[in-house]
Amino acid sequence: MKRRSHPGLFIVACFAALASSGTALLSLPFSHADATVGVSDAFFTSFSAVTVTGLAVQDTSTAWTPFGQFVILLLIQIGGLGIMTLAGFMGLVVSQRMSVRAGMLAGTEIGLTDLGPLRPLLRGLVKFVILSEALLAVALSARFVLGDDNGAIIRPIFDGLFHAISAFNNAGFSTFAGGLESYAADWFVNLVIAGGFIIGGIGFPVIFELRKQWRKPDRWSLHTKVSLAFTGLLLAGGTLVIAALEWTNSGTLGALDPGDRILAAFFQSATARTAGFNTVPFDALHSSTLLVFILLMVIGANSASTAGGIKTTTFAVAIRSTIGHFRGDADVTMFRRRIPTELQQHALSLVVVALGTVGTAAFGLAIVEPDIETAKLLFEAASAFGTAGLSASVTPSLGTLGRIIIVVLMFVGRVGPITFGTAFLFRREARHYRYPEDDLMVG
- Per DSSP, the three-state class of 261 is helix
Q: How confident is the model at residue 88 (pLDDT cuts 50, 70, 90)?
A: very low
Average pLDDT, rounded, for the chain: 87
22 pLDDT higher than 70: yes
Closest CA to 55 of 65, 46, 63, 64: 46
Mind listing the pLDDT tens digit for each residue in 227-260?
Answer: 999 999 999 999 999 999 999 999 999 999 999 9
- Spatial distance between the Cα atoms of 434 and 429, rounded to a whole number of angstroms: 14
Mind listing the pLDDT tens digit for each residue in 151-179?
Answer: 889 999 999 999 999 999 999 999 998 89
Instruction: Tell me the whole-structure pTM to 2 decimals.
Output: 0.89
114 pLDDT higher than 90: no
- Per DSSP, the three-state class of 344 is helix
The string of DSSP letters for 221-239 reads: -HHHHHHHHHHHHHHHHHH
Residue 4's pLDDT is 53
60 CB-contact burial (10 Å; exposed 0-12 / middle 13-18 / buried 19+)? buried
* Residue 229 Cα distances to 213, 236, 302, 303, angstroms: 16, 11, 11, 14
Sign (positive/negative) of CA torsion 236, 309, 389, 129?
negative
Element (H, E) at 406: helix 400-415
Termini Cα distance of the chain: 43
Which comes out higher in pLDDT, residue 442 or 202? 202
Residue 146's pLDDT is 94
Q: How confident is the model at residue 415 (pLDDT cuts 50, 70, 90)?
A: confident
Residue 428's pLDDT is 55
99 pLDDT higher than 80: no
Task: Average the pLDDT over 224-229 and give the result.
Answer: 95
Residue 5's pLDDT is 57
Residue 442's pLDDT is 77
Q: Choose from 101-105, 326-330, 362-366 the range with maximum mean pLDDT.
A: 362-366
Torsion angle, alpha carbons of 390, 362, 420, 111, to 10:
-40
